[in-house]
Structure 1
Amino acid sequence: MGLFKGNLTFSRYRLIGTLPDHFPDFFNERIRKNAFQTVWRTAEEKAAGWTGLEDPLDTEFHHASYAQGRYLLFSLRVDRKSVAPSLLRLRIMEAERNKLSETGQKKLYREQREAIREAMRLELLGRTLPVPSLFEICWSVPENTLIFCSLSDKVFEDLQELFRDSFQLTLCPYMPWDPQFLQKDQPGSGTAGKTAQPPLPDFPPGIDPLTIGREFLTWLWSKSEERNGRIMIPGAGESEVFFIRRLVLESGDGEYAETVVCQGLHADLKEGKEALRQGKKITVARLRIAHDKTEWEFTFKADRFHFQSMKLPTLPENDGEEIDREGQLLERIYLIEKAAGMMDLLFQFFLERRLSNDWEAELSRMQRWISQGSGN
């Protein structure tokens, strides 16, 4: 229930495609048609479909219960079945011995063994109860953006397939370093309606889109220590950014990757800066961001711009009055978009520096900062 209460983990997506005419009617028909259907007594390994956000058993969506303001709010339910390999092996051995006894054969043909294996697998799946999982979705229709409460690639594949089949739209992972998404008016940034700035140039050969997120997070750490956390963000004003409790730094790829983890109530900054001096870049960091008397805390994953365990500002109590659940939900969504928008603005601030003629001077400043912090 991350959208309603508690901490929140999410990834973001852009929608590619054109919404049909009479979209509300189209959406209502398609979400009902592709609502979740149980597979408890079948041999299917997986079932996926849409359910209500608050009520996972709601697959009728009466009175357009998914509509809240300019958002469509619902959940993806995925039920999976699995058979323990050890149990399957035992059942196959038992079935093969029975087959040999019935036929008098000394050895089974390959086709017979394969048929037995498949029959046993289907039989066990038919007797197995599925394990359900629910993933919340917040679709901002005017902005063609979607917040999905999962970071799993496997679950995203389920989402992408069902979303395309249901609404004839393609989901594209949101990457603020993708040139087609580099805009000044970011969702939740509070800059909508202002004059758009000229688009940033394409990445030059020296910039790798696959590692630019790590460069950004490393730069942000150095920038946050210039003025004790205070950063003047173009388009947002004075804000505070603090790196707290946990840092993950990495260099290399695959089996040659080297990782350093700094964690604790006060992360060992000296150890982290020594890792930077050795050429590592920050891939994951726990951040605390404050802006306009509002504070967020979350783990930021640089490679994909993902947010994990986001702690939102506490909403004011109602002093005994009936809780306005819709109002609180919309306020939480606003705060989620605001935090993500702040990170987008910070990235744009970094990217403008990264592509400017002043980047060499910025690198020299960062090197001095790293050397001072690592004790050299």
Structure 2
Amino acid sequence: MLDIAVSYDKYKFLGNEFLTWLWYLIETDVNIKDMTQIECNTLVLETGNCIGLENSLGDDAVEKISIRGDDAGLEEGRTALKKGGVVTDINLVLRMDENEWRFSIKGESMNITSLKVPSTEKIEEKDEIEGAVLERIYLINTVFEVIDTLFKTFIKKRISDEWKTVDLPAIRTWASL
């Protein structure tokens, strides 16, 4: 059995590849709702206002690219992908029906940070606290459910025979547009 630190170092690339794949799905308008099987009318995932990329240059040298801003162009990010870079962190917007979540994911650890859930009604009475807490837990859990389901889909694709012949060439073609 592998030591936890050895396993972490060996497989930490998967999170970065997952975020790169997510960016590809978003940019090519793939229907994410079909991948999640979550009960809702609409489910849309969009890039937020920040993407971080990393490109190993050899000899332990790493090129880091950060793209920030609501109207920032992503051409530099695609150039980094063409040179072998991967997304290391990304800010995302999840829209499900009339609700909106904003959050960031770090690729190496798959940590979700800066989570902003849809607003809820104000608590007016003491007996409403339990319901408000449960609603908040549900809203937080929704993001984890979507990301977990997408990650499972990614892993199934990543270990399939079609990854190198279908998915990876499609991502490379998209990156070079």
Q: CA deviation at 1:291?
A: 2.3
Amino acid in the other structure paired with 2:132:
Q
* Percent sequence identity over aligned pairs: 32
The corresponding residue for 1:344 is: 148
CA-to-aligned-CA distance 1:225-256 (integer Å, 9 cap, x gap) = 222x7422243266211112101101238952
Aligned mates of 1:241, 1:264 — CA distance in 2 = 18
- Cα shift readout 1:33-92 (whole Å, capped 9, x = no counterpart): xxxxxxxxxxxxxxxxxxxxxxxxxxxxxxxxxxxxxxxxxxxxxxxxxxxxxxxxxxxx
Partner residue in 1 for 2:138:
334
Equivalents in 2 of 1:295, 1:307: separation in Å?
16
The yes-or-no answer on 1:322 pairing with 2:125 is yes
2:74 aligns with 269
Q: Is the 8 A contact 2:36 2:146 kept in 1?
A: no
Shift of the 250–368 alpha-carbon distance from structure 1 to 2, 3 Å rule, reads same
The answer to whether residue 61 in structure 2 is matched with residue 259 in structure 1 is no
Residues 207-229 of structure 1, C-alpha deviation per residue, up to 9 Å, x if partnerless?
A: x51200000000111111222x7
TM-superposed deviation, 1:327: 1.7
What is the Cα deviation at residue 266 of structure 1? 2.1
The question of 1:224 aligning with 2:29 is answered: no
1:316 CA displacement: 2.7
SS in 1 for 2:93: strand
Q: CA RMSD in A?
A: 2.4
Q: Residue 19 of structure 2: SS of its match in structure 1?
A: helix
Secondary structure of the residue that 1:216 maps to in structure 2? helix
Name the counterpart of 1:281.
Answer: 86
CA contact (8 A) 1:244 1:267 kept: no
Tell me, yes or no, if the aligned pair for 1:213 and 1:304 is still in contact at 8 Å. yes
Compute the displacement of 1:356 (Å): 1.4
Q: Could you tell me the TM-score, scaled by structure 2's length?
A: 0.83
Partner residue in 2 for 1:294: 99
What letter is aligned with 1:330?
L
Distance 1:350 1:236 in 2: 17
Query: Whole-Å Cα distance in 1 between the matches of residues 74 and 12 of structure 2?
Result: 25
* Matched residue SS, 1:313: coil
Q: Does 1:363 align with 2:165?
A: no
Question: How far apart are 1:348 and its partner, in Å?
Answer: 0.7
Cα distance in structure 1, aligned partners of 2:146 and 2:116: 15
* Contact 2:52/2:66 (8 A) holds in 1: yes
The answer to whether the 8 A contact 2:55-2:83 is kept is no
Aligned CA distance change for structure 1 residues 241 and 326 (closer, same or farther; 3 Å): same
For residues 24 and 87 of structure 2, the distance between their equivalents in structure 1, rounded to whole angstroms, comes to 11
- List alignment gaps of at least 5 residues for structure 2: none
Alpha-carbon distance between aligned partners in 2 of 1:317 and 1:233, rounded to the nearest angstrom: 34
Amino acid at match of 2:130: E
Query: Which of the residues 113, 120, 131 maps onto 1:308?
Result: 113
**Contact 1:230/1:241, CA 8 A, preserved across alignment:** no
Q: How many residues align?
A: 165
Question: After the TM superposition, which residues 1-376 of structure 1 pair with which residues of structure 2 at under 5 Å, given as runs?
Answer: 209-227=11-29, 230-231=31-32, 232-236=34-38, 239-252=43-56, 255-317=60-122, 321-322=124-125, 324-359=128-163, 360-372=165-177
Higher relative contact order (CA 8 A, sep 6+): 2
1:317 is displaced (CA, Å) by 4.1
* C-alpha deviation, 1:302, in angstroms: 1.2
In structure 1, distance between residues paired with 2:63 and 2:168: 23
Q: Based on CA coordinates, which of the two structures has the bigger radius of gyration?
A: 1
TM-score (norm 1): 0.41
Contact 1:299 1:309 in 2 (8 A): yes
